[in-house]
A and B are shown apart, each in its own frame.
Chain A
């Protein structure tokens, strides 16, 4: 049984303090803060915020450079109605979403495998990681032309392989057919982007403590069980991040398409970004292009929303 002194002597203390305002120096700090943030924010506003508003304005006006007579006149929603009734828009949207779903699914599976390989400690892991990163780091122009070479009907490695093993399909002009073109695009795109996903997933793997696996092994879990029941659930945050990044990138795919197929054969590999490019810089229709851009932005937001929402609830 011990006795204890009660509260310290009463405080004669007035609050002359307000939560937000602060003194001169605090305010000076905050002012300096805004000043330092300004260059970054202003330059990003200039290259994204400005185009967004300009597109919005253009999409309600006649802005076709080949039609100077009507320039800048209000066009109501005609650009949008033209867009939504355009079969080119609908089909390029379908293609784009289809490509996004297929490529992201395929790349995710491969990336998980690659991440598992890169995660394991082995001699020369640094070099292997570097080797894997090079495809990610090279310009898309490089990966696209590289795979165009690989798929060349007479000089490509694919052709060579088919020839060596006497398989059918030698001398196929891959980029002349719709589905074979998509296959080539998918391969080129995956080759460049799987490493990125794998690196993100690798970071996720590194956050999982080893003792969890040890505990599972003592509990008698097989390798597959511990992957299914431990690795995947704990990897989920990293998977969400990687998926959102990749889904948006795939949705906006342009460089590969432009270089490998130019949207062809016909328009069978035209994606939304390509469609938008065409409207802006081939047809020079900035009103119609603006409408496409606005729908691109809106759809990107929708996709980001769906991805994060769909994957958020953790089990």
Chain B
């Protein structure tokens, strides 16, 4: 039995190779983060002198304090948080309603679902022009609130799809019991179906938040004053307003680290939800 013999003879090497692969995966995923953290802890003088070691000579947090004092980075962070949270709330709300209707009520879910999913692939830059004209006409330019509606194109398709699948899996008995117990359809939805689908609602919310937090193109196109900027836009702006011959990445990377932290935390806490959300969203 050749297969068996191979397994008996090489168990150690297979394992070593596998753990080497895991190490490479970890290094490729995480080392770049180390590098920007390292860069962000350098003084401008050290940075200008060029990098010659893996470890920083000594740590300085001045780039972080400067991000908040000189660059007023708190404002864009707040803007991003407001927009991302509001987009998340709206897309989970709209997504629950639409998902429930398609899972349970007799709407022709085929064409509607197809439209919602196809909308998610609509070229973002093709939306920018007309929406720019529209928002200019309505006086919406340079305001963060229209972005909430705009970002639905990122979040609503996946939220609706996920929630529809979750609702479809809940035994119909539960809401029928609620209907008999005296609930209207909507009340059964809010009091029974949504609470039971909490894992799905969470997943939809987390993915919506990440997708809304990550936008750059719309913010770039519609926002003009730095106090209205979202965090990603503010960071890029930070690089472009430096007049120096050399871009001072130590300063920029401090902001990059700040923007990354909430997302990294979210991923660490909700890895399982995100994986299940992405896969349920993609395969089915």
Interface string of A180-211 (1 = CB under 8 A from B): 00000000000100011001101110010000
* A55 neighbours in B (Cβ, 8 Å): 126, 129-130
Binds A, one of B61-69, B145-153, B169-177, B196-204: B145-153
Q: In the complex, which of the residues B51, B152, B268 contacts A159, with contact meaning CB atoms closer than 8 Å?
A: B51
B33, B152, B216 interface centre (most CB from chain A within 10 Å): B216
Query: A37-B107, A286-B129 known; A304 and B275 CB under 8 Å?
Result: no
Say whether A248 faces chain B, with CB atoms less than 8 Å apart: yes
Chain A residues with CB under 8 Å of B236's CB are 141, 145, 258-259
- 8 Å CB contact of B266 from A41, A137, A248, A300: A137
Whether a CB of chain B sits under 8 angstroms from the CB of A83 is no
Give Cα A184 to B231, complex, Å: 24
Structural contact, B132 and A280, CB atoms closer than 8 A:
yes
Give the residues from 23 to 74 in chain B that come closer than 8 angstroms, CB to CB, to chain A. 25-26, 28-33, 35-36, 39, 47, 50-52, 54
Would you call A134 and B29 a contact (CB within 8 A)?
Answer: yes
Q: Is A36 a contact of B275 with CB atoms below 8 Å? A: no
Contact B249 A155 (CB under 8 A): yes
Interface residue from A50, A152, A258, A293 paired with B134 (Cβ < 8 Å):
A50
A9 at the interface (CB under 8 A from B): no
Interface mask (B155-186 → A, CB under 8 Å = 1, otherwise 0): 01100100000000000000000000000011
A252 lies within 8 A of chain B by Cβ:
yes
User: Taking CB as reference atom, which chain B residue is nearest A42?
Assistant: B94
B86, CB-defined interface residue at 8 Å: no
Roughly how many angstroms separate A44 CA and B156 CA in the complex, as a whole number? 8
User: Restricting to B231-267, which residues have a CB under 8 Å from any CB of A?
Assistant: 231-233, 235-236, 239, 246-247, 249, 252-253, 256, 259-260, 263-264, 266-267
Provided the pairs A146-B33, A254-B124, A277-B221 are in contact, do residues A37 and B152 lie with their beta carbons within 8 angstroms?
A: no
Which bucket holds chain B's interface residue count? 35 or more
Interface of A is mostly: helix
A62: Cβ under 8 A from any B Cβ? no
Please report the C-alpha to C-alpha distance between residue A259 and residue B220 in the assembled complex, in whole angstroms: 11
Closest chain B CB from A308 CB (angstroms): 12
Could you say which of A10-18, A24-32, A73-81 contacts chain B? A24-32
Output the least CB separation between B226 and chain A (Å): 15
The residues of A that contact B259 with a CB separation of less than 8 Å are: 138-139, 141-142
Q: In the complex, which residues of chain A have a beta carbon less than 8 angstroms from the beta carbon of B78?
A: none
**Complexed CA–CA distance, A136 and B201 (Å):** 21
- Give chain A's interface residues, CB within 8 Å of chain B: 26, 29-30, 32-37, 39-41, 43-44, 46-52, 54-55, 58, 63, 113-114, 117-118, 120, 122, 126, 128-135, 137-142, 145-150, 152, 154-157, 159-160, 163, 191, 195-196, 199-200, 202-204, 207, 217-218, 220-221, 237-238, 241-242, 245, 248, 252, 254-255, 258-259, 273-274, 276-277, 279-281, 286, 289-290, 292-294, 296-297, 300, 304
In order of increasing CB-CB distance, the 8 nearest A-B pairs are A33-B105, A203-B279, A293-B126, A54-B130, A33-B107, A141-B232, A40-B98, A51-B130
Some 28 contacts from A to B, beta carbons below 8 A apart, are A33-B106, A37-B112, A40-B95, A54-B129, A55-B130, A113-B21, A130-B271, A131-B30, A134-B267, A139-B213, A139-B214, A142-B259, A146-B36, A149-B35, A157-B32, A160-B52, A163-B52, A191-B28, A195-B29, A200-B283, A217-B3, A218-B3, A252-B123, A258-B220, A286-B130, A286-B132, A294-B126, A304-B121
